């Protein structure tokens, strides 16, 4: 996921909040906002199905009525073409809203649990309950989707929320700050803008739940801050998502689907395929397919804001430029860089497994349009490599071999496993989206999002009319014999 620099604490991560005499006006304002939302939650503002549906519908309305302004803001901050924003960002929010409205009544329903004979005639159920007031921290790479989609889940579950947009996309942050109050009540949702200091001040407050999307590094800081108050967290992080291309894959379709997923947002997507594994004998065929597809996708070349997205800022641009320079002798496709536009052409580099072990391209999530192609001899080498690193957010496999699919699925771990496609699994609310280990904890989208922002309350109800004496002391004679039978003991 996108690094969220503004939330890394400088100094002692575990320092205590300031005393009341040292509290700044900014912190007082945050505390006032949190108090307002807590009072609203306690008053049952989001308890009913109707209130939740209305709030979710308001978010959908916000997106539908402001498509132009939202796309314009994304273009200004990210240099992203309008069609990419419509396809890969705003559509996800609409899908989440539609799914939540359609299914929320069922999601909210308590699940009846059959009680054992020991508890007869009790009735039991598991009832989903909201946490309370949640803090949702978003990244810069999809600044609307990755705040509004979890917000839909939070509201569906009956929570109130504070949104913290990334300071690295200031136009999008300001637009969200202006639009949210027009569509949602301030006693349900509020937006707090700011950078490093604001992010840390928010983390110093006691939230009922924190949802964070960003880098693994910052995710660890979020988890530390949440641990002080035993606050539950969902961490949507990132990492290097591998892509395995088998020798029997349809390379024309494979190249299209890899490039479509990789070049969305110029590779600045948490589930973008990060690197490719392919058999040594298949390397040249794959390179030709990728070259041909790039010409098909971009017949007029790479033009910022029109056909192609720029890199978010100078720091990230220089990082990619440095990595590309380190691998200039292994370049096979692309390589052009336009510093004045922060534009990096899609570039592919050939490595073997021995080189991958110390290659700059393989040290961290690339988060850009650079992609190594790593040749291998045996699939054993591939699964061993994947399993020796952090579990990825996504793992992609292109093959026609069902046995290979079963083997890779069985022998690896990842947040998601997609066969013969990339990234598109995020387009449906039917599948959970989340990581494991270094790529995150917890999942959302659709019912999984409702569950992420809920806890299960156990409810048991018993009448007065049956009160068996065998339950009560003293335990002797027939009571103990009966209880042992009832509790499942096989021997005296």
Catalytic residues: 236, 270
Q: Are 137 and 42 in contact (CB under 8 A)?
A: no
Question: ∠ CA(311), CA(315), CA(317), 5° rounding?
Answer: 35
157 φψ region: left (φ > 0), alpha (ψ -120 to 50), beta (else): alpha
Packing angle of the helix pair 379-387, 402-411 (nearest 10 deg): 30
Q: How far apart are CA 412 and CA 414, in angstroms?
A: 7
Q: How far apart are CA 160 and CA 43, in angstroms?
A: 11
Closest CA to 198 of 9, 406, 440: 9
Q: How many residues does the chain have?
A: 492
Looking up tokens 């600044």, which residue turns up?
A: 143
Looking up tokens 């800081």, which residue turns up?
A: 221
Q: Tell me 254's DSSP state.
A: H
Question: Could you check whether the bond before residue 121 is cis, i.e. omega within 30 degrees of 0?
Answer: yes
Going 290 to 296 to 300 to 303, the CA torsion angle's sign is negative
Q: What is the token pair recorded at 240?
A: 């290097």
First to last CA, the chain: 58
Q: How far apart are CA 472 and CA 142, in angstroms?
A: 60
Query: Under DSSP, is residue 160 helix (H, G, I), strand (E, B) or coil?
Result: strand
Q: What is the token pair recorded at 433?
A: 């989206």
- Cβ within 8 Å of residue 136, ≥6 positions away: 147, 150, 151, 154, 161, 162, 163, 164, 210, 211
Rg of the chain over CA atoms, in angstroms?
26
Q: What is the token pair recorded at 359?
A: 């290659």
């Amino acid at each position: 996921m996108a690094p969220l620099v503004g939330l890394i604490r400088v100094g002692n991560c575990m320092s205590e909040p300031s005393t009341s005499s040292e509290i700044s006006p900014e912190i007082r304002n945050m505390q006032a906002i949190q108090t307002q939302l807590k009072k609203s939650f306690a008053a049952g503002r989001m308890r009913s199905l109707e209130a939740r549906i209305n709030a979710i519908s308001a978010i959908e309305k916000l997106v539908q009525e402001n498509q132009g302004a939202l796309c314009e803001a994304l273009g200004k901050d990210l240099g992203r073409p309008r069609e990419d924003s419509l396809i890969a960002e705003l559509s996800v929010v609409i899908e989440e809203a539609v799914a939540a409205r359609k299914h929320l009544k069922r999601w909210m329903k308590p699940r009846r649990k059959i009680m054992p004979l020991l508890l007869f005639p009790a009735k039991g159920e598991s009832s989903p309950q909201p946490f309370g007031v949640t803090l949702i921290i978003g990244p810069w790479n999809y600044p609307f989707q990755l705040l509004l989609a979890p917000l839909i889940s939070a509201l569906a579950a009956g929570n109130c929320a504070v949104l913290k947009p990334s300071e690295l996309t200031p136009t999008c942050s300001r637009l969200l700050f202006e639009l949210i109050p027009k569509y949602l009540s301030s006693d349900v949702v509020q937006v707090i803008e700011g950078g490093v200091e604001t992010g840390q001040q928010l983390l110093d407050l006691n939230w009922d739940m924190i949802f964070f999307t960003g880098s693994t590094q910052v995710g660890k800081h979020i988890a530390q801050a949440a641990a002080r108050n035993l606050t539950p967290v969902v961490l949507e992080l990132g990492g290097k998502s591998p892509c395995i291309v088998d020798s029997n894959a349809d390379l024309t379709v494979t190249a299209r689907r890899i490039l479509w997923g990789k070049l969305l947002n110029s590779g600045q997507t948490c589930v973008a395929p990060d690197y490719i594994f392919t058999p040594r004998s298949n390397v040249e065929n794959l390179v030709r397919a990728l070259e041909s597809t790039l010409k098909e996708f971009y017949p007029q070349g790479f033009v910022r804001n029109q056909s192609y997205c720029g890199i978010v800022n100078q720091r990230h641009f220089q990082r990619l430029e440095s990595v590309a320079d380190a691998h200039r002798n292994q370049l096979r496709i692309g390589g052009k860089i336009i510093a004045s536009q922060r534009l990096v052409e899609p570039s592919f580099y050939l490595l073997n497994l021995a080189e991958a072990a110390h290659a700059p391209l393989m040290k961290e999530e690339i988060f850009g349009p650079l992609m190594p192609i790593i040749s291998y001899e045996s699939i054993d080498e591939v699964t061993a490599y994947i399993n020796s690193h952090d579990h990825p957010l996504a793992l992609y496999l292109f093959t026609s071999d069902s046995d290979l699919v079963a083997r890779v699925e069985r022998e690896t771990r990842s947040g998601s496993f997609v066969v013969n496609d990339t990234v598109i699994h995020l387009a449906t609310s039917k599948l959970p989206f989340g990581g494991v280990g270094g790529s995150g904890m917890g999942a959302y989208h659709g019912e999984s999002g409702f569950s992420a922002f809920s806890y299960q309350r156990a409810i048991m109800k018993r009448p007065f009319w049956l009160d068996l004496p065998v339950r009560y002391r003293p335990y002797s004679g027939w009571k103990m014999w009966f209880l042992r039978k009832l509790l499942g003991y096989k021997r005296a």
